[in-house]
Amino acid sequence: MEDPVFTFGIIADIQYADMDDGYNYTKTRVRYYRNSLSLLQGAVREWASESVTPQFILQLGDLIDGFNVSHKSSEASLKKVLTEIEKLKTPVHHIWGNHEFYNFSRKQLMESRLNSSRVQATLTTVPEDGGDPLDSFYAYHFSPSSKFRLLLIDSYDFSVIGRDPSSDKHIKSSKLLRQKNPNEDKNSPKVLDLVETRFVQFNGGISAAQLSWIKAVLETSDKNKEKVLVAGHLPVHPSSTDPICLTWNYQEVLDLLQSHPCVVAYLSGHDHDGGYHQDECGIHHLTFNGIIETPPESQAFGTMSVYQDKMVLKGRGLVPDRTLLYRKKQRMAGKSCRQSAGKMEK
Ligand SMILES: Nc1ccn([C@@H]2O[C@H](COP(=O)(O)OP(=O)(O)OC[C@H](O)CO)[C@@H](O)[C@H]2O)c(=O)n1
């Protein structure tokens, strides 16, 4: 078999805390807080023993659990987990999830080892909108190999968590939550239907500024005939996740991704049960199972081998193997495949 152009490791929702096993909020799933570190160690060992060490690791967010806050162990837990993942001596690209914001402020995150845009500075482009960097979003892109690009986006850009209560983004997202979610506890999806359940406080959305930044990146990639893999903590397709985990403005994000032929995949975490869907434009939506709810005797991570004509995911434990062919349906830049279909037939 031909060699891949590049390979990378993927892992999601480790949510480490030095505490006994517990449950998720609805008491339907066990959370293995302490053992999540052992599963991470196992993943690192396996990646290190592959014939070719992955070029980088994509960590899809929620590296340590929010419980660390009450245990006053956020710094210690973060250090422990980063020490393990960094043993691989390969770059790690970090997405920020809701649990990052329970543990740390945006300012702390920007200055921490979780700011991989800074660590990988030579490879990346970070948006500069001229305003206060703390009101901005954490998103960047890099090219792991010629004609391929990884684009990391900030699912909590427009959110009440991680935003200063006096900020415009906090005020507006809090207003949106009040409009969409009648429950006193805004983390509760009670009485909300299907995709409306996404309007809970532990989710967030993508601001207009970030959407236009993403659009500009994708336009350049379209022009340069690149293939782009987009990654964020929250899923954006209702068929790839339990709807309670969706990005608030998932439809806007989907419309944007689907109108750029360069986009081949969207990778996310958050829904610990995982999910997969190939959308009508051929984009592969992969939601990775969370380590935190993976039994100690199992595993949940993957190695993605990227080829010119496909991606091959070698899954471990709960993550299945998949061969992901690039889209067959043609799309025109700036139009979704649905809009393009009619035009191309003429
Ligand atoms: N129905 C719910 C669910 C959660 N909460 C509270 O919201 C906060 C975050 O919840 P948590 O389960 O820790 O979030 P995760 O990111 O680990 O998982 C997302 C799941 O996959 C979604 O199903 C926390 O404070 C919970 O207590 C809530 O109040 N009501």
Report the pLDDT value the prediction gives residue 270, as an integer from 0 to 100: 98
CB atoms within 10 A of CB 130: 6
Report the pLDDT value the prediction gives residue 119, as an integer from 0 to 100: 66
Q: How far apart are CA 253 and CA 124, in angstroms?
A: 22
Report the pLDDT value the prediction gives residue 120, as an integer from 0 to 100: 58
User: Ligand 1, closest atom to CA 271?
Assistant: 21
* β-strand partners of 9: 57, 303
DSSP string for residues in 289-335: PPGGGS-TTS-EEEEEEE-SSEEEEEEEETSPPEEEEPP-S---TTS
Report the pLDDT value the prediction gives residue 273, as an integer from 0 to 100: 98
Q: How far apart are CA 281 and CA 278, in angstroms?
A: 8
Distance (Å) from CA 231 to ligand 1 centroid: 21
Max intra-chain CA distance, the chain: 64
Which of 69, 187, 191, 293 is the pocket-test mutation for ligand 1 (most atoms within 8 Å of CB)? 187
Distance (Å) from CA 203 to ligand 1 centroid: 9
Distance (Å) from CA 192 to ligand 1 centroid: 15
How many Å separate Cα 237 from the centre of its chain?
A: 13
Report the pLDDT value the prediction gives residue 133, as an integer from 0 to 100: 72
Q: How confident is the prediction along the chain (346 residues), in pLDDT tens digits per residue?
A: 799 999 999 999 999 999 999 999 999 999 999 999 999 999 999 999 999 899 999 999 999 999 999 999 999 999 999 999 999 999 999 999 999 999 999 999 999 999 999 765 555 666 666 667 778 999 999 999 999 999 999 999 999 999 999 999 999 999 999 999 999 999 999 999 999 999 999 999 999 999 999 999 999 999 999 999 999 999 999 999 999 999 999 999 999 999 999 999 999 999 999 999 999 999 999 999 999 999 999 999 999 999 999 999 999 999 999 999 997 655 555 566 755 543 432 2
Report the pLDDT value the prediction gives residue 346, as an integer from 0 to 100: 25
Distance (Å) from CA 25 to ligand 1 centroid: 6
Give the residue, by CA position, lying nearest to ligand 1 atom 7: 187
Report the pocket of ligand 1 as residue ranges, CB < 6 Å. 24-26, 62, 66, 98, 185, 187-189, 202, 244-245, 270-272
Which residues lie below 8 Å from residue 157, measured CB to CB, with a gap of 6+? Answer: 137, 138, 139, 169, 204, 205, 206, 207, 210
Report the pLDDT value the prediction gives residue 335, as an integer from 0 to 100: 61
Q: Which single residue is written with the structure tokens 């969207």?
A: 266
Distance (Å) from CA 200 to ligand 1 centroid: 9
280 contacts 257 by C-beta, under 8 angstroms: no
Report the pLDDT value the prediction gives residue 134, as an integer from 0 to 100: 75
Look up residue 225 and give its two tokens. 């005939």
Give the residue, by CA position, lying nearest to ligand 1 atom 20: 271
Report the pLDDT value the prediction gives residue 327, as an integer from 0 to 100: 78
Look up residue 287 and give its two tokens. 């939601």
Beta strands in 25-152 (DSSP E): 30-31, 56-59, 92-94, 140-145, 148-152
Q: Which single residue is written with the structure tokens 């991704």?
A: 257
Which of 16, 25, 31 is the pocket-test mutation for ligand 1 (most atoms within 8 Å of CB)? 25
Report the pLDDT value the prediction gives residue 339, as an integer from 0 to 100: 58
Report the pLDDT value the prediction gives residue 118, as an integer from 0 to 100: 74
Query: What does each C-alpha distance from 181 to 64, 78, 167 come to in angstroms?
Result: 28, 33, 21
H-helix or E-strand containing 268?
Answer: strand 263-268
